[in-house]
């Protein structure tokens, strides 16, 4: 059975149908003092999947704690978290004494609640695998890069795919290889949350249709800075393709003002820029996961 919250209803039904699963809502009520009351189905099968993308994560992480414990009391012996966007993966190192390494803390917290985790393009930099960050028995990573590449191919014949920083290289290379697109990666030096320096790679940009590819857009400043530099360098157009459309604060406006033409994102986080759905990939991952457990 797949459990979901009301705002995820459409995606949950699609995923459940694709994976041949039943699905049911989790009823949620917020009291005036901010406390939560959640209600699950009164009985659950042994294998339960919870769909919850972890944008705006702080309250949602508390929901996971409440739901996971109750699901086990109601009969679930195997819990899978489907978190298309997985929060707190970027803070993977203490840069100052006493600094909390959020990836380690949240990853181990999730591992105490769930037996398996399915996510898309997690922001792993100094960690090689998702299982190192979230030590569950099954840690499944999906990528939106091939789907975004297919979408880009419907808009451009010979685009140049460009990563705004070194960390985006993995997604850029995967997307470019699917259709043989030219690609490159910028170098970035971050001075603060909204202050970045970028160096473009030694590529001729004049007259090229450039698509910036990344896993996530939060403040938008890195993508905006790269866009301005590309247009000054003669790029015919600059589009953005990304997995997770966080777009905090005025990020959307910042991209538009910088000259970005189109923004294409996946439905891992609901946003007006959503152009690609990950539901079929998630459903197949759940089928494969269930098949492996059945074989065992």
CATH of the domain at 34: 3.40.50.2020
Rounded to a whole number of angstroms, the distance between the first and last alpha carbons of the chain is 20
Residue 264 pLDDT greater than 90, yes or no: yes
Residues 208 and 135 in one domain: no
Listed residue (211, 201, 203, 207) closest to 161, CA to CA: 211
In the chain, % of residues over pLDDT 90: 85
pLDDT at residue 127 tops 90: no
CA separation for the pair 129, 137 (Å, rounded): 13
The mean per-residue pLDDT over the stretch 153-176 comes to: 94
- Asked if 165 and 185 count as a contact pair (C-beta separation under 8 A), the reply is yes
Lowest-confidence range among 77-86, 142-151, 211-220?
211-220
156, 107: one domain? no
Domain with 228 in it: 145-275
Looking at residue 190, what is its pLDDT?
Answer: 64
Note the pLDDT tens digit of each residue in 220-246.
989 999 999 999 999 999 999 999 999
Q: How far apart are CA 205 and CA 213, in angstroms?
A: 16
Put simply, whether the predicted model's pTM sits higher than 0.85 gets the answer yes
In this prediction, residue 294 carries a pLDDT of 59
Q: Residue for token digits 């398996």?
A: 116
Look at residue 194 in the predicted model and tell me its pLDDT: 55
Question: What is the pLDDT at residue 197?
Answer: 82
Does residue 22 register a pLDDT over 70? yes
Q: Is the pLDDT of residue 189 over 90?
A: no
In 110-236, beta strands by DSSP E: 116-120, 138-142, 160-163, 182-185, 187-192, 195-199, 209-217
In the predicted model, what is the mean pLDDT of residues 38-44? 96
| Pair 133, 157 in one domain | no
Residue 138 and residue 173 in one domain? no
Do residues 237 and 149 share a domain?
Answer: yes
Are residue 237 and residue 108 in the same domain, yes or no?
A: no
> What pLDDT is attached to residue 195?
62
Question: Are 248 and 218 within 8 A, CB to CB?
Answer: yes
Q: Nearest CA to 56 among 245, 231, 201?
A: 245
Is residue 98 located within the same domain as residue 162? no
- How many domains is the chain built from? 2
Place of tokens 């470019």: 176
- Residue 163 and residue 232 share a domain: yes
DSSP output for 132-189: HHS--SEEEEE-SHHHHHHHHHHH-SS-EEEESSGGGHHHHHHHHHHHT-EEEE-EEE
- Do 110 and 172 lie in one domain? The reply is no
Per-residue confidence (pLDDT) for residue 293, from 0 to 100: 63
Residues 120 and 237 in one domain: no
Same domain membership, residue 64 and residue 52 = yes
pLDDT of residue 188: 77
Query: In a 3-state reduction of DSSP, which class is residue 132?
Result: helix
Residues 6+ away with beta carbon under 8 Å from 137: 115, 116
Q: Are residues 82 and 117 in the same domain?
A: yes
What are the residues whose beta carbons fall under 8 Å from the beta carbon of 218, sequence distance 6 or more?
A: 246, 247, 248, 251
Residue 158 CA to residue 264 CA, distance in Å, equals 18
Give the percent of the chain with pLDDT over 70.
Answer: 96
Q: What is the pLDDT of residues 58-111, one digit of tens each?
A: 999 999 999 999 999 999 999 999 999 999 998 888 889 999 999 999 999 999
Q: What mean pLDDT, rounded, does the chain reach?
A: 94
| Secondary structure (3-state) at 100 | coil
**Is the pLDDT reported for residue 122 higher than 90?**
yes
């Amino acid at each position: 059975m797949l459990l979901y919250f009301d705002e995820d209803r459409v995606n949950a039904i699609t995923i459940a149908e694709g994976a041949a699963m039943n699905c049911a809502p989790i009823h949620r009520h917020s009291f005036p003092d901010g406390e939560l009351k959640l209600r699950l189905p009164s009985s659950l099968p042994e294998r339960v999947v919870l769909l919850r993308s972890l944008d705006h994560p702080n309250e949602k992480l508390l929901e996971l704690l409440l739901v996971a414990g109750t699901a086990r009391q109601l009969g679930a012996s195997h819990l899978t978290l489907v978190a298309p966007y997985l929060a707190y993966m970027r803070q993977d190192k203490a840069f100052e004494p006493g600094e909390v390494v959020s990836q380690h803390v949240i990853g181990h917290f999730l591992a105490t609640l769930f037996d398996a985790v399915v996510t898309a393009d997690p922001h792993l930099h100094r960690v090689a695998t998702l299982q190192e960050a979230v030590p569950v028995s099954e840690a499944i990573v999906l990528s939106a890069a091939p789907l975004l590449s297919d979408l880009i191919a419907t808009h451009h014949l010979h685009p140049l795919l460009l990563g705004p920083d070194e960390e985006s290289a993995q997604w850029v290379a995967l997307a470019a290889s699917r259709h043989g697109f030219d690609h490159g990666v910028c170098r970035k030096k971050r001075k603060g949350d909204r202050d970045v320096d970028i160096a473009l790679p030694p590529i001729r940009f004049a007259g090229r249709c450039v698509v910036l590819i990344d896993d996530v857009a939060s403040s938008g400043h890195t993508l905006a800075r790269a866009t301005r530099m590309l247009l000054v360098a003669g790029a015919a157009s600059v589009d953005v393709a990304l997995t997770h459309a966080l777009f905090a604060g005025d990020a959307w406006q910042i991209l538009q003002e910088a000259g970005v033409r189109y923004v294409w994102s996946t439905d891992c986080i609901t946003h007006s820029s959503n152009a690609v759905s990950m539901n079929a990939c998630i459903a197949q991952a759940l089928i494969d996961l269930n098949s492996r457990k059945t074989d065992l």
